[in-house]
Structure 1
Amino acid sequence: MRRKELLTLEMNDIDPNKGRIHIEEPKTRYARDIPMTKNAQQHIEDYLFNVRNRMLDSNSTLTSVFISEQGRAIRNSTLAKIMDKLNKKVSIDKKITRHLRRHSIATHLHRFLPLQDIAQFLGHRNLDSTMIYTHLKHEYYG
């Protein structure tokens, strides 16, 4: 998911029965569904029912999926702090950003899926963009 998609994710965008997350208004303006692995689905459900609900007061109507400890939708700065904490936990010299994770996921998926499926997963309308993400551009264009 893109950063903005994550920050604006709403509770009704997650369908645990189908194992999918629906992105209604992505950057490309074309809605898409993102499949969840069973492991990811389990972690999301655990967060929603055991963490998120405890941070909200009983009469809250907040529908944002990811919230702060104060019970408000998280902002970009909060997400950046979370990423910084995760970077400190891993022992590599490169800073891991959300965007770098998109590139890594795309490159990994290319081993298992056709480029068109990866494009749909990433929300790309143009295969050239997906080729850049999967680091294949040089294979086709030199």
Structure 2
Amino acid sequence: MKKLKLNNAGFEYLELAFTEWLDILGYNKGTVYTMGAVVREFLYFLTSRSVVHISQLDTPHFKQYYQYISTRSNQRKGGALSLNYINKHIQALEKFNEFLTHKTGTSITMNVRQIKYNTKPITVLTQAEIKQLFTLTQQDRITERETALQSRDAVILVIYYSCGLRRNEGVHIELNDINLDTRILHVRKGKKYKERLVPISQHSAKILEDYIYNHRPILLKSNTESRLFVSYYGKPCTGGTLYRCLQKLIYRSENPELAEKEVGLHTLRHSIATHLLQNGMELQKIQRFLGHSSLESTQIYTHLTEEV
């Protein structure tokens, strides 16, 4: 895609304006690049259909492009393109269509939807397994720094299990997003940049307070660092760093059943949603807690509770 030449000044400007718009919205560089590349391929496709100005764009063009990528071969591996790859194209075009609506005030119906396909089964930890992980974060450690890192592990469980945050939501939490007096966590960078307020339990608030005031300063290299999670070297933690911390905690549990499960940060979010439903919380309340746009996304947990 990156080798395509548009040879159309208007389309080149649109691609640049679209990527700048994504950047302003706060999308990461990888997503901006990928979506920009998809839009470039789409615009290139339009020129092959004698569309030379964006005002000529209409619903059939989206359908024609969908048919094109659905039948196009994988140039590197051979065979057809994966469903995930096709869905990423559709996601990018949905965002591009939103950009065009924002820019021109004219909305175009795409009539093209992402393909639903079977994904990996969702892994859920039991409440006993969650309790065991929390217990591991309370063990006596030899050094002050080890104790600080263990306190951070407890906060990982608080943010991703007790508060049910998504991976990137937790990574971007800053100290001023947490109000320990009101016990409210402000998620500012949620999915599709939707904000929400998440309640913090009294027990979780104590764990957060202990880490923020007693242990996090030991890890810091700079007093200006605002991120909640900081690494051994005092830098902001990435999602990969937090994932590895969780894996080490699972290894320390010496629990063979837990070790066999495919566990990530999002597993903790799935687990709290399932446990809340098992404990009788209404589905609509769980939807608001998780920040789901639709109740349909939350309903998957009704099936999980039948299996657990």
TM-score (norm 2): 0.42
The CA distance in 2 between the partners of 1:37 and 1:97, in whole Å, is: 23
Which 4+ runs in 1 deviate beyond 6 A?
none
The aligned counterpart of 1:106 is 273
How far apart are 1:95 and its partner, in Å? 2.9
Match for 2:228: what amino acid? V
Aligned match of 1:25 in 173, 186, 189? 189
Query: Which has the larger displacement, 91-100 or 62-71?
Result: 91-100
The aligned counterpart of 1:13 is 177
The CA distance in 2 between the partners of 1:62 and 1:29, in whole Å, is: 23
The aligned counterpart of 2:237 is 74
How far apart are 1:60 and its partner, in Å? 2.3
Match for 1:122: what amino acid? L
How far apart are 1:80 and its partner, in Å? 1.9
**Structure ranking higher on relative contact order (CA contacts 8 Å, 6+ apart):** 1
Cα RMSD, aligned residues only: 1.9
> How many residue pairs align between the two structures?
137
The aligned counterpart of 2:299 is 131
Match for 1:64: what amino acid? R
The CA distance in 2 between the partners of 1:121 and 1:28, in whole Å, is: 16
Match for 1:67: what amino acid? V
The CA distance in 1 between the partners of 2:173 and 2:303, in whole Å, is: 30
Identical-pair percentage: 35
The CA distance in 1 between the partners of 2:197 and 2:280, in whole Å, is: 18
The CA distance in 2 between the partners of 1:115 and 1:28, in whole Å, is: 21
* Cα contact 1:67–1:74 (8 A) shared by 2: yes
Q: Deviations over 1:109-142 (max 9, x none)?
A: 112321111011111011010111x1338x8xxx
SS at match of 1:62: coil
How far apart are 1:101 and its partner, in Å? 1.5
The CA distance in 2 between the partners of 1:136 and 1:33, in whole Å, is: 27
The aligned counterpart of 1:89 is 252
The aligned counterpart of 1:41 is 205
The aligned counterpart of 2:220 is 56
Q: Deviations over 1:26-54 (max 9, x none)?
A: 01322111111111110111111111112
SS at match of 2:302: coil
* Cα contact 1:7–1:74 (8 A) shared by 2: yes
Larger Rg, first or second structure (1 or 2): 2
The aligned counterpart of 2:97 is none
Match for 2:234: what amino acid? G
TM-score (norm 1): 0.88
Match for 2:270: what amino acid? H
Higher helix share: 2
The 1:28/1:118 distance shift into structure 2, 3 A limit, reads farther
The CA distance in 1 between the partners of 2:285 and 2:193, in whole Å, is: 18
* Cα contact 1:28–1:123 (8 A) shared by 2: no
